[in-house]
Chains A and B, each alone.
Chain A
Amino acid sequence: MSQENNKIAMDIEGYLKEHENKDMLRFLTCGSVDDGKSTLIGRMLYDSKMIFDDQLSAAEGESKKYGTTGEKIDMALLVDGLQSEREQGITIDVAYRFFATENRKFIIADTPGHEQYTRNMVTGASTADVAIILIDARKGILTQTRRHSFIVNLLGIEHVIVAINKMDLVDFSEEVYNDISKAYGVLADELGIKNTYYIPVSALEGDNVVDKSEKMPWYTGMPLLGLLDSMDISKEQTAENFRLPVQYVNRPNLDFRGFCGTIAAGEVKVGDEITVLPSGKTTKVKSIINAGDITEDNRTATTQFAYAPMAVTITTEDEVDISRGDMIVHTKSLPRVSNSLKVMLVWMDETPMEVGRSYDIKRATSVVSGAFEHINYKVDVNTYEREQVHSLGLNDIASCKMVLTQPIAADAYEMNRLTGSFIVVDRITNNTVGAGMIVGVSRREEDAAKLSEKEYTDAERALNQYIRENFPEWECKVV
């Protein structure tokens, strides 16, 4: 019986007490089919008891039918959940899996490695704090390593663990490990990845996954699980940068009007001076309800102080008009309000993105229609080269100028993932066709709603089109 099991058996109340204060870490694993990603995940799940005997025996049965590992259980079948994935032996879509240690609960975004599933990787990366990039020790840095690193960095993941896998196949060579680490360091610098960690592992044999490997005494760092368990992922935040996208207006009776939402950044106190954007009206916080404090017996519990990522309801001193889609912020730290934004856009649909076409843009809780007026450049995710293009296809990533029909309060994605990100919804099919990150906000506040009402002559339109095609650097709007 393991030490933890012993604790559970002897002192369950003590065990529960310890586990009350666990932290949560979300990570994604990147690597292609043959890099041992499924084996690595399978092992982490199995070792932390997230895979049970009945699931294992079901996988045993399926291994005989679809397996690729001979007599051994095909670990991939434990994690590939869809019939078509099992039949084809590949991971098609993102899956979310869980395991926990004494310190942390982990959410793994298990994403496919194939280039045609770039959008799925972006999806998995959008909520992750940490990325594990698997590199086959025999092959070193490949195109897909570059692709995965680019996406991880684009999505603002600040911690990258480079797991140099299959060390058993290179005789646990320190030299191979050093060469790959060094080469990756160059790549990380090129991209500007903030924190990198390197671990030599063998997912298949379990070296440096859960326990430290005896076969690589030269490696003095922690095994993978130990690192995940102990790394500091808290971000420095200034308390003033309070952001509350208003999600829902709670109005049980005439005496109570509460504004509900999830705090996206910073903290808020009763009495704080706040501004509602985009209207710019100001008032003070009268009361705060932290939804987490509500109990079955006390439905009116209030607090003096709340912070991200709590789900709260606040009431205000004055009766100001606040509705869903607005953002409540501290008056002393206002974000820029604009309808003209520079963004990085990931296109996620089979139907190409059309410049100038109207899409619905959902950012936090606001839905505003808008268009991509101009593509500054498309990035080749394998070489990082920039290209001039006129439309975007599935999995393309590009820098664009986005113009909305109404101004919004916008933070750069770099500052805040929740107020700096948006999805693009096709207004006819209703599909999520794109995902974007705000890079910069134009100083000039434009009123596109008014502009679109103006009538242009054919000659004016032709001139406009000529300028946009031949002088893209002028960033001329579509009329």
Chain B
Amino acid sequence: MTRERLTHLKQLEAESIHILREVAAEFTNPVMMYSVGKDSSVMLHLAMKAFAPSKLPFPLLHVDTKWKFKEMIEFRDQRAKDLGFDLIVHSNPEGDKMNISPFEHGSKVHTDIMKTEGLKQALNEGGYDAIIGGARRDEEKSRAKERIFSFRDKHHRWDPKNQRPELWNIYNTAIQKGESVRVFPISNWTELDVWQYIYLEGIPIPSLYFAKEQDVVEYEGTKIMVDDERMPEELRKKAKKEMVRFRTLGCYPLTGAINSTATTLPEIIKEMLLSTSSEREGRLIDKDQEGAMELKKIEGYF
């Protein structure tokens, strides 16, 4: 029998499955973050493989900022039905009461309250000791510095200067009560790996990733989609139909669309490979201050 080296995607897949099983074996109350995007979809697919023929040994948590694209919510609920996983949805009730809006309060306040605070609330309520997330090291410079098993103190804070050394495939999972670990099973995947894997494995993703005619307006330097009537009227009036798609999915007023004609996965990959700008260029929250992602992560953001 001949034995070949595994292809890079098969090696990445095996590594991610190893990480997911390590979480299930070592922690008492893990949860997987599910943000409905392409990275979450890949992570969910890997988790289904890791524990087959069993169901997932942990629930999925979606922190709903209430400003997600409508289609993302529909897609999320459909996946939960098809795959039979436990889904927990949490929105910050105080933020809800205050009517926090990215249009009115800006991206920083909205993200702080609805995402970071909402996330911390959900984690405190659930008392999770391991929180699995779909972040990748190629996304942003500070992410390249983060461990796969990333320690968080009682206040969910990340200390970039005091991280546990992480060697071989041995992960330190020891924590005290109240502390937690954020785990990133697809750390070593790139945007291209994720797309290629989605293509090869036939993983379902929201159709917002594919180019369609949508109502879009220029807003703070990016092109955003009119997803509901909460968009201020003076903005909505300027909406024009354009052929667009999204490279990442977040809150609709904070996620820029790109003009595109890519309606299939190979076309999306082609467009990505020929693009000269990064995936997160359309994310306003990365740029609202210098070192924005690092600071948000120190505060507890993913």
Contacts and interface: CB of A to CB of B under 8 A. Distances in A.
Does A pair with B?
A: yes
Contacts of A348: 165
A286 B164 CA distance: 39
B167 A126 contact: yes
Contacts of B25: 247-248, 324, 365
Interface stretch (A12-20, A193-201, A211-219, A455-463): A12-20
Interface stretch (A157-165, A168-176, A356-364): A356-364
Interface residues of B, number: 77
Contacts of B70: none
B18 interface: yes
Given A300-B53, A307-B3, A432 B144 contact: no
B54 A360 contact: no
Contact of A82 (B8, B145, B167, B267): B145
B190 interface: yes
B77 interface: no
Contacts of B281: 52, 54
A5 interface: yes
B13 A292 contact: yes
B213 interface: no
Contacts of A23: 5, 7-8
A395 to B, nearest CB: 11
B145 A435 contact: no
B92 interface: no
Given A13-B266, A98-B137, A247-B25, A294 B49 contact: yes
A123 B166 contact: yes
B160 interface: yes
B219 interface: no
A203 B148 CA distance: 30
Contacts of A397: none
Given A107-B188, A292-B49, A20 B266 contact: no
A256 B54 CA distance: 10
B167 A309 contact: no
Given A262-B14, A310-B6, A311-B21, A289 B52 contact: yes
A74 interface: no
Given A363-B170, A364-B170, A20 B7 contact: yes
Contacts of A251: 54
Contacts of A119: 165
Given A52-B276, A82-B142, A430-B175, A126 B168 contact: yes
Given A248-B21, A260-B21, A22 B1 contact: no
B30 to A, nearest CB: 12
A169 to B, nearest CB: 30
Interface string A288-323: 010110111001100001010111010000000000
Closest 6 CB pairs of A and B: A81-B141, A311-B17, A252-B54, A126-B167, A24-B8, A52-B278
Given A9-B274, A24-B7, A126-B168, 14 more contacts: A24-B12, A54-B277, A55-B278, A84-B161, A93-B145, A96-B144, A110-B144, A292-B14, A309-B11, A309-B15, A362-B170, A364-B170, A421-B167, A430-B172
